[in-house]
Each structure stands twice: as structure tokens, then as C-alpha cells.
Homo-oligomer: A and B are copies of this chain.
């Protein structure tokens, strides 16, 4: 999953100013669509007048094609309706004559869900009832989720607005990858995230099952894989089948990944004979790219993999089978004389060629067992069959180049959830943007969609939901909605609403953060707890791969994730709203005094917060750890107040004063880094300083 390369290609923005890439010039939505609280936004919406009332008489019925999966979808829908409204709505579908919502399905979908199946649906709501129509159950499930999103509390109780929706996804591959290998994710965690995927119409769960740190699936053929390679944390085959069924019920395909020939230390604990080194091997506890790699020159490796792939392709019904293929550093190959001899004997010039040889052999095994291989960019080498699918961590350029050659691809570059980017930044990335925009329509079809990726170095069962959600909903919208849907403000409003709905469906992103703060605070007074909340709502963890570099002790899989940096949201909505407020204030040429007062009140709250937090920091080591960030926030806010006051007074800052203030902001950011935290509002603070400076936008 290419951490090293990503690191090399990315400049760590220590100076925060300008590092936020909020999309400010996004194309505005048509007013009818934008007001509809649905995420992802549907392809076509017509709003009528009137509302359908949801009350204790509400019921759902199925017409046309029937199957148990639809019945279960109906029951799940009713449970979700009950959760979202608290209304006693019954638990089973009923006769159409007595139903408020009638669902009509033309025919069944494929026995094993396929890419490109028809997922379209129409939804009609009037004051007297509602209808969903779809070709097959996949569209039905999407339509039911849209209906649930439309339910709102109004002066008439819970209602759904009268509306006509025709909806169809833009891309057929809309995935979420979860790395369950670096930190294990129990079945319940996987399931609630599948619920979240269904809610936002994602349809591929990419299950990253093996890594240096763990082999997470039971093999009957080679039980030492999980017995010695997982610390007992793996999925039984029964659990795997259960999850696959759970996913199918929600219109979601499950693509397993077995990462080879690198990222595979955990395999070698039980099977050192697969490795290129001499062993013995232990489960890796550290993060990064490591030397162990499979031996591509040993026929026994392929014999083993043939058996394993035979077993796993039977277990996982999806047509696609992911073989990883990323980040081999080649060191074990370089030092293995047998491998070096083999390379010479067979004219294999370098490690890249050796990996290509391995990849080709493994792909042949996958094809032999009836599946289509998927792999990271590295598997795309000259001569590889056109049937493979490339998952691109390298970016749209790479994807476009592949598409021109006739290869199908999915984009993950720009969708790495662990990097802590804002939802807007992910949202701005289009699988058909950049180099892909100039592809022919036929070539563009080769771009199947994208996948968000949840790599799990700093993610465990407690906080994984808060690292995926709600930002993943923005990526889901990018992959489902028409290309023109780019209004960031609307996206954030709907994402906030969806974040709450997802909690009702069982996800824990909000709950988790509240509980973790309480744990950090211990026996805090209400005032101290408020101060801690004020602080943490203003912070974000440092971005990209900065955290590992800042840690005093190298983090491992045994590192506790119980600190402030683990508790704060990856995107601070408070800071985002403050920044929006600054932009709006500046856009009025600093004339909106009510707005200025609001901004000043927020800044004053921040400026005075550190003093309020201090008593608690003296009592809790976990609060104390964030004390530098707390001081930094208060100091930076004081600087911003001074700048704002200058703007309001019309007394420009001198160049020296400006420089001092910007230096102070940079110092504050550096200080926050001591807590592995960043202050996302600093860019807005700098705007205030710029505005206040001699010749600044609002200086008089």
C-alpha cells in the first residue's frame, strides 16, 4: 500500500499556511437538488409540494419479483425507520394495499453480484404514498436508503417530501478498503461498516486480509498461516461466509486481498519455506516496509499458492481476487545466492523483473481458478494480460496511462482515509479528473471507479469508525453522483446530517470521541471537560505520515491508541466553520460587524481556553500530553484577535508586526506538533493578519 513511495512524493507541510485545499470555487448545484438532504445526491430530482407523513401506520410492501433477500431488506428498512424516528412501525413487510411504500422489482440480480449490474432505481413520493421501482434488488436497496435519508422531523412530525427521483451511479466500482491486518477488526466492526457503506451506496468491500503484521483468515489447507500468523485474531471461514452474506444482502461485493510477494512476514512465521530469507520469522510489530518477501524462484512457492488460492477463491465468490503486489524492497532477494543464480540463469535483469515474473505466475494461478486478478500499480508491467484490474495508489496519471493501454483501473490515490485529509480535499478528486479527463469516452469506461482506503496503523476497533466516517460519505458521493455535483458547502451540510444517521445505524464515530475524551479527562469538573472539548474540537492529528516521525517512541501494533491525537476528529468542523466565517467576513470588505463579533467570540473562547484546561492537565497525564497544543491554540488565537481588532479599528499592521504575528502562528503550529496535533484554523488566522496588514484587503 505504498507508504514509502507516498512519503517520498509528499512534502510535509510544516508551515501550515496554505496547506488546506478547500474547494472554494466548486460549481454550484441546482437549487432543487441541493436542498434535498440525500447523500450521495441522486442523478435527477424533481421536488413537488406536499409531504408524506410517517406515523405508526407506516408499512412497506414488495411487488413483482420476490426473494428472501428483499424480505430481509424490508425488515432492515423497518428497523432503520424505527431507529431514525422512534416510531413503532412494525417489523415485517405487508400487503401492498396496506402499505405506505410499495417497492416494485422486475427481476432477480446475478447470483454472485457482478460489476456493472443495473443499480438504478426510481423513487416517487406523494402526500398519499411512495413507490420505488428498480430492475433488480440492487436498485431497490439504494432506493430504500434514499427514502430513509429523506425522512425528517417537521412541524407535522416525521415526513418525507414529495419528490420524483431517477437515480443511477456514475461508476460501477465504489469501494471501501479496510486493512484488518495491521490492527484486527472484529466481525461486528466489519458489519457496522458494511451498514455504513450501504447507507451511502458503496458497493465493494475490499478486505485487506494479510500483511507483515497478520494473516487474518482461516485456511484449512495451511492452518499454520492463521495459527502462527495472527495472535489468534483471524476470521474463521464461517465468519467470512457470514460477512459475505451480510454484504450481499446490502448490495456489496467482497473482494479479498492477499498481499504478495512483499507485505507477507506474517505468512512466514508458520511457513518460512515461502520466504527468500533464512528465517525464523516473527509477526512484525512495527510499521513500514520490511525485507521479507516470497521466493519467486522456488516452484514450491507456486505449489503452495496454487493450493491456497484454490481454497480462497472457493471461499470468496466474487469474480475479482486481489493479489496486492506493492512495495517489495528486494533486500532478501539481493542477499539470497540461490535467487541471484536463478535470475542470472533465466535472464531476469533486476528485482522489478523478478517481481513481474512472480506477479505473472500468481496471476496465472488466479485465472486458472476462474478469477480476475486485481493488484496495485506495480503489477502493471509490459505484456500483462488486459483482463487485470489496476488499483492505483499512484494517481490519475497512472490510471489514465493504464486506460490508454486498455487496462481497467480503480482510483485510490487521494482517497486514503488514514492521511487525515478534509472531506473537501477527497471530494475534489475525481477518478476522471486530471490526466483521465482527456481520455476518450471508450477509454474512460476503463476507469471503473474508486476505493477509499482505511490503512490501520493508528486505527483499532474503538476508533476505526471515526477514522472512516463521516468523510467516507464524501468519497461515496464522488463515486456515485454526477460529475457536476461539486458544491462543497452542500456536501458538508448533508454529511453532517448523514453522520448523525450513521450513528443510528450502529456506527460509533461520534460516540467514540465523546467516550474517549471522558476517559482522557477522568474525574474532570464540567468546566474542565468543556475546556477539553473546546480544545479538541479545534485540533486535528498531524496529516499524512507525519505522526510516525514525531513520535518520541516508535509506534507499533502494541502502542495504546488512547491519547488526544487518537480522540480528535480527523477534520475539525469547528475550525472549518471558523475559516468559512473568515472568508465570508473578508468578502464583505470587513464591513459585516456582526460576523466580526462572532469570529471574535470564537477567538476569545480559544484564547482563554488554555487557562481553563490547566488544572485538568495537572491531574491527567493524557491531558498533559496535549498541553503544548492547548497553549498553542490560545496563543495563536490571541494573535488573531489582535489582527481582527486592527481590521475592525482600521489601524493597519506594519510589515514588522505582520511578520511577528505570522512567526507567532508558525511557532504555535510547531508547538502543537509536540502533541502530534495541528491547528487547522491557522490558515484563517493568517488571512486575518493579511487583511489587517498594510495594503491588506480590509486595511484602511
Which A residues contact B (CB, under 8 angstroms)?
A: 37, 56, 83-88, 91, 152-157, 232, 462, 497, 500, 503-504, 511, 514-516, 518-523, 558-562, 566, 618-622, 624
Q: Name the CB-closest residue of B to A514.
A: B514
- The 7 listed contacts between A and B (C-beta, < 8 Å) are A152-B522, A152-B523, A153-B520, A154-B522, A154-B619, A157-B621, A504-B519
Copies, count? 2
How far does the alpha carbon of A514 sit from the alpha carbon of B157 in the complex, in Å? 20
Asked whether B560 lies within 8 Å of A56 as measured between CB atoms, the reply is yes
Beyond A155-B620, A504-B515, A511-B511, list 12 extra A-B contacts (CB 8 Å). Answer: A86-B462, A86-B561, A86-B562, A88-B558, A152-B522, A153-B520, A153-B620, A153-B621, A153-B622, A156-B621, A157-B621, A500-B515
Q: Name the CB-closest residue of B to A623.
A: B153
How far does the alpha carbon of A462 sit from the alpha carbon of B83 in the complex, in Å? 9
Using Cβ atoms and an 8 Å threshold, which residues of chain B touch A515? Answer: 500, 503-504
Asked whether A56 lies within 8 Å of B622 as measured between CB atoms, the reply is no
Distance of A100 from chain B, by nearest CB (Å): 15
Asked whether A84 lies within 8 Å of B156 as measured between CB atoms, the reply is no
Q: Which of A83, A84, A91, A157 has the most CB of B within 10 A?
A: A157
Distance of A500 from chain B, by nearest CB (Å): 5
How far does the alpha carbon of A347 sit from the alpha carbon of B336 in the complex, in Å? 102
Complex partner residue of A624 from B88, B155, B558, CB under 8 angstroms: B155
Using Cβ atoms and an 8 Å threshold, which residues of chain B touch A521? Answer: 153
Known contacts: A500-B518, A504-B519. The answer to whether A155 contacts B88 by CB under 8 A is no
Distance of A533 from chain B, by nearest CB (Å): 12
How far does the alpha carbon of A493 sit from the alpha carbon of B197 in the complex, in Å? 41
Asked whether B153 lies within 8 Å of A86 as measured between CB atoms, the reply is no
Q: Name the CB-closest residue of B to A573.
A: B526
Asked whether A85 lies within 8 Å of B519 as measured between CB atoms, the reply is yes
Asked whether A559 lies within 8 Å of B155 as measured between CB atoms, the reply is no
Known contacts: A152-B523, A504-B519. The answer to whether A560 contacts B620 by CB under 8 A is no
Asked whether B522 lies within 8 Å of A620 as measured between CB atoms, the reply is no
Using Cβ atoms and an 8 Å threshold, which residues of chain B touch A620? Answer: 153-155
How far does the alpha carbon of A88 sit from the alpha carbon of B462 in the complex, in Å? 12
Using Cβ atoms and an 8 Å threshold, which residues of chain B touch A153? Answer: 519-522, 619-622
Q: Name the CB-closest residue of B to A232.
A: B91
How far does the alpha carbon of A589 sit from the alpha carbon of B372 in the complex, in Å? 83
Q: Name the CB-closest residue of B to A519.
A: B86
Distance of A505 from chain B, by nearest CB (Å): 11
Complex partner residue of A84 from B56, B84, B519, B621, CB under 8 angstroms: B519
- 9 A-B pairs with the lowest CB-CB distances in the bound complex, closest first: A86-B562, A153-B522, A157-B621, A87-B560, A153-B620, A88-B560, A88-B558, A511-B511, A86-B560
How far does the alpha carbon of A96 sit from the alpha carbon of B661 in the complex, in Å? 58
How far does the alpha carbon of A559 sit from the alpha carbon of B86 in the complex, in Å? 10
Distance of A493 from chain B, by nearest CB (Å): 9
Distance of A506 from chain B, by nearest CB (Å): 11
Using Cβ atoms and an 8 Å threshold, which residues of chain B touch A154? Answer: 522, 619-621
How far does the alpha carbon of A607 sit from the alpha carbon of B86 in the complex, in Å? 30
Asked whether A618 lies within 8 Å of B155 as measured between CB atoms, the reply is yes
How far does the alpha carbon of A514 sit from the alpha carbon of B462 in the complex, in Å? 19
How far does the alpha carbon of A618 sit from the alpha carbon of B83 in the complex, in Å? 23
How far does the alpha carbon of A386 sit from the alpha carbon of B412 in the complex, in Å? 75
Q: Which of A86, A157, A462, A624 has the most CB of B within 10 A?
A: A86
Q: Name the CB-closest residue of B to A497.
A: B523
Distance of A209 from chain B, by nearest CB (Å): 20
Using Cβ atoms and an 8 Å threshold, which residues of chain B touch A618? Answer: 155
How far does the alpha carbon of A620 sit from the alpha carbon of B520 in the complex, in Å? 35
How far does the alpha carbon of A393 sit from the alpha carbon of B538 in the complex, in Å? 52
Asked whether A37 lies within 8 Å of B523 as measured between CB atoms, the reply is yes
Using Cβ atoms and an 8 Å threshold, which residues of chain B touch A500? Answer: 515, 518
Asked whether B86 lies within 8 Å of A516 as measured between CB atoms, the reply is yes
Distance of A676 from chain B, by nearest CB (Å): 15
Known contacts: A86-B462, A87-B562, A560-B86. The answer to whether A155 contacts B523 by CB under 8 A is no
How far does the alpha carbon of A84 sit from the alpha carbon of B562 in the complex, in Å? 10
Distance of A197 from chain B, by nearest CB (Å): 21
Distance of A620 from chain B, by nearest CB (Å): 5
How far does the alpha carbon of A516 sit from the alpha carbon of B462 in the complex, in Å? 22
How far does the alpha carbon of A85 sit from the alpha carbon of B621 in the complex, in Å? 12
Asked whether B519 lies within 8 Å of A562 as measured between CB atoms, the reply is no
How far does the alpha carbon of A522 sit from the alpha carbon of B504 in the complex, in Å? 13
Using Cβ atoms and an 8 Å threshold, which residues of chain B touch A519? Answer: 84-86, 153, 504
How far does the alpha carbon of A520 sit from the alpha carbon of B157 in the complex, in Å? 10
Q: Which of A153, A523, A561 has the most CB of B within 10 A?
A: A153
Asked whether A85 lies within 8 Å of B562 as measured between CB atoms, the reply is yes
How far does the alpha carbon of A88 sit from the alpha carbon of B87 in the complex, in Å? 41
Distance of A555 from chain B, by nearest CB (Å): 11
Using Cβ atoms and an 8 Å threshold, which residues of chain B touch A514? Answer: 514
Q: Name the CB-closest residue of B to A86.
A: B562
